[in-house]
Amino acid sequence: MKRHLLLTPGPTQVPPELCEVLGRPIIHHRTPEFQAILKEVTEGLQFVYQTKNDIYLLASSGTGAMEAAVANLLSAGDKALVAECGKFGERWTELCETFGVKTKVIKAKWGHVPNPQDVKKALEEDKSIKAVFITHSETSTGVNTDVKAMAEVVRKTDAVLAVDAVSSLGVIDLKTDEWGVDVVVSGCHKGFMLPPGLAFISVNAKAFKLIEKSKTPRYYFDLRKSKEAWADTDTPFTSAINLIIALNESIKIFKTKGLQNQFDHFEKLAKFTREAVKNLGLTIYPDASCISNVLTAVNVPSGIDGNKLVKQMRDKYGISIAGGQGELKGKIIRIAHMGCITKENIEEALSCLEKILSEMGYKVPAKA
């Protein structure tokens, strides 16, 4: 079998112990056995989310939960605010526009993050804005939005705050209840180290009031159905059974290690990567003030084709890192730190990077 070392910011590598769980014989989802697992998984997610809010599981990629957030919170003609700084922030805007929501956009320069004071001003100027959408870890550029500061602004208003934590959950701190975040979406194929196919959404009472009022047509992603089913420890449709059983095991790893220890581990890994990259004479893409520990985005040196670099690492060595998206296509490379990626994996990827960069004509500085 061809080797694949995945250092991409989603999907991430699946550890062998979770592969084993995924491959177990399937059980039926309308059984007490599965209900017990659903309950345990939901409580486990509440632990990682740091919340007491309801969390619903959706069989979809992360974007499905984002769509569920927009479709359930808002109706056509409602007003929303998106504070965006990259490709995934743009996705919130595109989703809002798809559902006919009147969308005001606060755009930060890529590599930077939106300013909570700008959100405050926009909410003061237009009190009819019903929801604010932000991205915790903007995976396209490698920055973190200050969710705590954003929540401090939004929680004083009637608007709800919805956070895309698809790449950040379980990797960097997100105190859903303490900070007062109304809706948080995430998925299983980044920090939780599983194959894609399962998304989650947490919803508090303030957000649920909007959900009950929304006139947006919805069927599969109708969170009113999820809530109703959950009252009987059930889901409205067939669950992603094996993914949920494996998620339960993934969460146990978080519980055993401890959340803060996990965050510390990823911080160390990110710092190590940033240092090692600098030693290759390369520069970090995002602004240092908002740099993320979820992934490291690195500028491709001038004269080097970033797309070719990524392709050669994958085709010649079986090591997958990500290139740039949107306006950064070919200009940056991105190395993930989430899940079960080790320091040794990063060292291997960087020595491969060094080799290919040299082959492509880049002069690596002499080691000090």
Ligand X SMILES: *Cc1c(COP(=O)(O)O)cnc(C)c1O
Helix axes 223-230, 205-213, angle to 10 degrees: 120
Q: What is the dihedral of CA 93, 97, 100, 106, to 10 degrees?
A: 40
What residues between 184 and 213 interact with ligand X by CB under 6 A? Answer: 187, 196
Q: Minimum CB separation from ligand X for residue 171, in Å? A: 11
> Which residues 6+ apart lie within 8 Å of 311 measured at CB?
none
Under DSSP, is residue 201 helix (H, G, I), strand (E, B) or coil? strand
**Contact pick of 44, 62, 116, 324 for ligand X (by CB under 6 A):** 62
Binders in 269-288 for ligand X, by CB under 6 A: none
Distances (CA, A) of 343 to 4, 143, 239, 335, 349: 17, 21, 35, 12, 10
Query: Pick from 34, 49, 56, 88: which binds ligand X (CB under 6 A)?
Result: 88
Cβ closest to ligand X, residue 8 vs residue 312: 8
Is 323 in contact with 330 (CB distance < 8 Å)? Answer: yes
Of the candidate spans 115-123, 125-133, 135-143, 248-256, the one that interacts with ligand X by CB under 6 A turns out to be 135-143
Other beta carbons less than 10 A from residue 359's beta carbon: 11
Residue among 165 and 357 whose Cβ is closer to ligand X: 165
| Triad 294, 295, 301: Cα angle to 5° | 160
Closest CA to 31 of 246, 244, 250: 244
Using the rule CB under 6 A, is 90 a contact of ligand X? no
Pick from 315, 281, 313, 275: which is nearest to 296 by CA? 275
Transcribe 245-311 into DSSP letters. HHHHHHHHHHHHH-HHHHHHHHHHHHHHHHHHHHHTT--BSS-GGGB-SSEEEEEPPTTS-HHHHHH
With binding defined as CB under 6 A, does residue 323 bind ligand X? no
Region binding ligand X by CB under 6 A among candidate stretches 159-167, 237-245, 296-304, 360-368: 159-167
From 38, 166, 174, 244, residue interacting with ligand X (rule: CB under 6 A): 166
Q: Which is nearer to ligand X, 186 or 242 (CB)?
A: 186
Q: Which is nearer to ligand X, 134 or 276 (CB)?
A: 134
Rounded to a whole number of angstroms, the minimum distance from the CB of residue 60 to ligand X is: 8
Q: Which is nearer to ligand X, 137 or 312 (CB)?
A: 137
Rounded CA separation 116/362 (Å): 40
Near ligand X by CB under 6 A: residue from 10, 142, 236, 323:
10
The contact pattern for ligand X, residues 347-366, with x = CB under 6 A and - = no contact, is: --------------------
Nearer to ligand X, 135 or 214 (CB): 135
- Our CB check for ligand X shows the closer of 266 and 362 to be 266
Backbone angles phi, psi at 197, to 5 degrees: 140, -5
What is the rounded (10 degree) CA torsion for 269, 275, 276, 282?
130
- Single residue of 42, 53, 61, 299 touching ligand X by CB under 6 A: 61
Smallest separation, CB 70 to ligand X (Å): 13
State the Cα–Cα distance between residues 114 and 116, nearest whole angstrom. 6
Using CB under 6 A, pick the residue from 12, 51, 167, 216 that binds ligand X: 167
Q: Which is nearer to ligand X, 270 or 357 (CB)?
A: 270
When CB distances to ligand X are compared, the closest residue is 62
CB 341 → ligand X: shortest distance, Å?
A: 15
* Residues at the site binding ligand X, with contacts judged by CB under 6 A: 9-10, 61-63, 88, 135, 137, 139, 164, 166-167, 187, 196
